[in-house]
Structures are given as C-alpha cells and as structure tokens.
Amino acid sequence: MLEPDEVSAILRLNELGWGSKRIARELGISRNTVKEYIAAGGWTPYRQPQRKKALEGQESWLKERLRQHRGNADVIRQELAAEKGIVVCLRTVERAVQRYRQELAAEARATVRFETAPGKQLQIDFGERLVEIGGAKVRVYLFVATLGYSRRHHVRAFRNERQENWFDGLESAFMKFGGVPEEVLFDNARALVVEHDAITRTVVFNDKLSAFAKHWGFRPRACAPYRARTKGKTENGVGYVKRNAIAGRAFPSWDALEAHLEAWTREVADLRQHGTTGEPPIERFRRAEAQALKPIVGRPPFQAAREVIRRVQADCAVEIDGNAYSVPWRLIGEMVRVMIADGLVRIHHGIHEVAVHPICAGRRRRVVDPEHFAGLTGFRSNRAAALAGSSVAPHSPALLRPLGEYEAIVGGGF
DNA sequence: CAAGGTAAAGTCCGATTGAC
DNA sequence: GTCAATCGGACTTTACCTTG
C-alpha cells in the first residue's frame, strides 16, 4: 500500500510522459503497482479485508440476550451454538457484547438512582431465622413485603416457606396496604418457581402463582439472582427485620411474635426516617402510594382457587381451614389433593376425584357425604374379627367417632 | 504465486467477584 | 478463608487483502 504522496508522484510522472517501467524503476516499486494506480487515477484508501465477522448481523439479538442473561457472555455463547449454530470462542462473544455492557450498566445505575414509581412495585422476600419462642429456639420464616416507592413494610411470620404462605403473606399485604401494585418482585422464590434454568437463567413460575397473579391483577417478576442482591439495594427487607425487630428478643409465644411484628411495623418501621427517601415510609405511602395502588374492593380472596395436600384422618375426613370434609373411608391414611375453588372443595386421590363438598364457611364443622361410609357395615365384623385375634385388613379403619354416629349417618343416607 | 500487512478470532492467564 | 465463574488484557493464529 503506497502513501498518497507516492501515488501523486506516479501520476505526475505519468502525465510527463514517463512509462510505467521507468516510473517503477525510479520509485523502486513494482510496475504492476504503477499501472494499477494509473488505472485507478489516484490514491485509493486501503480496502479493508472483507473478512466476515462471526457475529455479523446478530447485534440486536446479542443485546437482547445480554440483557436477559444479565451480562453473562458464556451463556450467550452457548445459545449461539444451540440456536443459531454459530460456534465461536467465549472471547469473541465477550468482544461483541462489550459495547452493550456499558449501556446496560448505565441503565442499571439509572434504575437505582430513579425511585420506583408509586404503586409500581412490591418486593417480596422470605428469610429464615431461629427465634426464641417460649424458651425454645424455633425456626421462623419471615415474610417481608416492601413497597418500592414508600418502602413501607408488611411483615408476617410463618412456620415454613410453603406456597400457601407466600399467597397468605401477599394477600395480607394487599389488605394492609389497601391495594395491589402493578408488579410483585419475588426474591428467592423457590416455592413458586417450576423451572429455574441455571444455564439460561430463565424462570418459569408455577401455574398457581400465575393464577394468583391473574386473580389479583399484578405481574409477577423474579429477581434475577445475578448480583441483584448487592447492587442497588441499600436495604434488604428481611435483613432489616431480622436486625431491628427480632435480634436480641425472645417471645413467650408465637402469637406474641406476631403481635410484636405487627406493632414493630406500625411503630418503628413505618415511622423511621428512611435513609434514601429521607421520609418516614408511612408519610410517603399516604402522600403518594396509597392512591396509586389498584383498589381491592370487591375482590374475593384467592383461596377461591387453592390447592393443598392433606392426609386423610382416621375419622374419614380431611381438615381444611378448620373444617372437616369427608372422603371415602377406604382412603384413611392416604394423601389426597384438595382443590378449593368456586365454592367447592374437590378432593382427588391420584387422578380420581373422590369427593366434592360445598365450602363450609364456619369453623369446626363436619361436612359429610354419607356415601363415603358405604360398606362400613363390614366394619363391625372386621373389628370383631380383630378382637377375636384374626387377621385385620391393612386399611381397616380406626374410627375416632363413636360408632353410633357413623351408624346414624349410614342409616340416614340409605 | 509468495511475502507481507491488517483486523478479527482464538488462546492463555491473572484479577476480581460471588458463593460457600 | 477457599473455590469457581467470569472478565478483559496481551499475545497468537487465521482469513483476507495488497504488493512485488
């Protein structure tokens, strides 16, 4: 590649009538080169090698995946191979996405700097902690919901991290705040995630949560595990509760713990001068967030579509919300799936629906289908046989109710 | 065509960071 | 604290271009 002034020298000499051979000799370059530049009529910039870029045309795809995978280039490399059949080394992907990193980092900073809009987001976290209750160390699962704008907390204590407790906690938060936010951000939501792909880092919520979210009208979001905990969050809700409300305290009973959490939220957490907002959460909530939440007036609780697993008790029934619902007596001791929806309690054993009852509103009631006791006439003879020392059927029911009650039921039903 | 130049791709390695 | 994942700098190889 010649410099522009060398090329202009060629052209000048050519204009003077010099032959290409002479010019080449004079300038110490090849005749081919002289002829080429004369033909071209001047200096041409060096034509870049037309080497194909391995990731040519993938710019927007890369950008999107980079965002999706929170900056993990190796994941993108794997997806490139799997989805597009483009096999390149990690470094190549690194270089390709590098320019997008800055953009994403700037966005991340921006989302930290700019506060969440009122009513926009509720952040949920479950944390466990040993708490002294009644003199014993008890494992307590703390459910903490924090409104993004006002930073107002709602705290509940549970004995486990089961799905129904997530729902219970959320519903109680909606009740307390008097509304539903646009989205709910789940941190560490093991009980609610069906699929958590470690490679692609995608999260699939289970159907139940989807239904719950639809029922209440919020959008569920999983907090990405990638560095989300440390970046941007100045205060972790559960950590704050653990340090400030629980640490160093002992409680005489579970009820006392719950009462304390409630009072602490009201008298301490709601009133504190928040480090970032510089305002007590309760004031900020009343000023702007309360009216920004979607009202819940007239919405029934989600239990309209609940599902629980129960073991059939020895009295031929399963207990749901303090009431007992009968099932066929042969299922005593078996695990059954109970679906509570549309005013009905539907009980499944395996794939078979074995009982349907209307939901009982009260407490300590028994809802009985006499059919479930059909065949119990053999019960007395079994029992008599057992008493006589003969073999007993494996599922021979050990009924807790007085025999007379069953007889009355069976007699009344037939 | 061979030699040499350029830019992209690939390789290696140390530093950093998060999980434990 | 260790360990592993990840990133980016420095270097090497490869692909494509120009020149002699």
Name the token pair of A17: 């009538």
Task: Kindly determine whether the C-beta of residue A89 is less than 7 Å away from any atom of nucleic acid strand C.
Answer: no
The nucleotide lying nearest A70 (C-alpha to C1') is C6
Q: Is residue A395 a part of any domain in this protein?
A: yes
The nt closest to A53 (CA vs C1′) is: B8
Provide the token pair at A185: 């951000």
For residues A83 and A179, membership in a common domain is answered with: no
| A100, A154: one domain | no
Residue A229 CA to nucleotide B19 C1', Å?
13
pLDDT at A190: 63
Distance between CA atoms of residues A348 and A354, nearest Å: 5
Supply the pLDDT for residue A357. 92
Residues A153 and A28 in one domain: no
User: Which residue type, as a one-letter code, is found at position A323?
Assistant: N
- Determine if the pTM surpasses 0.75: no
Q: Which residue is nearest to nucleotide C9 (CA to C1')?
A: A91
CA distance linking residue A77 with residue A274, whole number of Å:
43
Residues A156 and A179 in one domain: yes
Distance, in Å, from the CA atom of A117 to the CA atom of A134, rounded to the nearest integer, reads: 42
Residues in contact with strand B, defined as Cβ under 7 Å from any of its atoms: A 1, 46, 48-49, 51-55, 87-92, 95-96, 225, 227, 229-231
Residues A267 and A143 in one domain: yes
Rounded to 5°, the CA angle A227-A232-A235 comes to: 105
Tell me whether residue A301 is in a domain: no
Query: Which residue do the tokens 């989302």 mark?
Result: A111
Name the DSSP class of A316. Answer: S
On chain C, which bases lie within 7 A of the protein's CB atoms? 5-10, 15-20
Q: How many CB atoms lie within 10 A of CB A88?
A: 14
Q: Are residues A167 and A275 in the same domain?
A: yes
Please check whether residue A86 lies inside any domain of the structure.
yes
pLDDT by residue for chain A (414 residues), tens digit each?
A: 566 667 777 788 888 888 777 888 777 777 777 877 777 776 665 555 566 677 777 777 887 787 777 777 888 888 877 777 777 888 888 888 877 776 676 665 555 544 678 888 888 887 878 888 888 888 888 888 888 888 899 999 998 877 778 888 999 999 999 999 998 887 666 666 666 555 455 567 777 788 788 888 898 877 654 334 433 343 467 777 887 788 778 899 999 999 999 998 888 888 887 766 677 889 889 988 888 898 887 777 775 556 788 889 888 899 888 889 999 888 888 889 888 876 788 898 887 889 999 888 777 888 888 888 887 654 443 433 333 333 333 333 444 444 445 445 444 333
- In this structure, what DSSP letter does residue A399 have? -
Compute CA distances A242 → A131, A133, A135, A228, whole Å. Answer: 10, 15, 19, 20
Distances (CA, A) of A91 to A74, A193, A397: 9, 33, 68
C-alpha–C-alpha distance, residues A363 and A380, integer Å? 31
**Helices A31-40/A4-15 angle, 10° precision:** 80
Does A341 share its domain with A401?
yes
Q: Are residues A311 and A191 in the same domain?
A: no
What is the number of domains present in chain A? Answer: 4
Write down the pLDDT at residue A154: 93
Provide the domain limits for residue A359.
306-410
pLDDT at A236: 65
A334 in the same domain as A220: no
In order, the DSSP letters of A126-168 are EEEEEEEETTEEEEEEEEEEEETTT--EEEEEESS--HHHHHH
Q: In terms of domains, do A219 and A366 share one?
A: no
Residue A71 shares a structural domain with residue A136: no
**CA nearest to nucleotide B4 C1': residue:** A1
Instruction: Supply the DSSP string of A207-273, one letter for each residue.
Output: HHHHHHHHHHT-EEEEPPTTTTTTSS-S--HHHHIIIIIITT-EESSHHHHHHHHHHHIIIIITTS-
Question: Is A74 among the domain residues?
Answer: yes
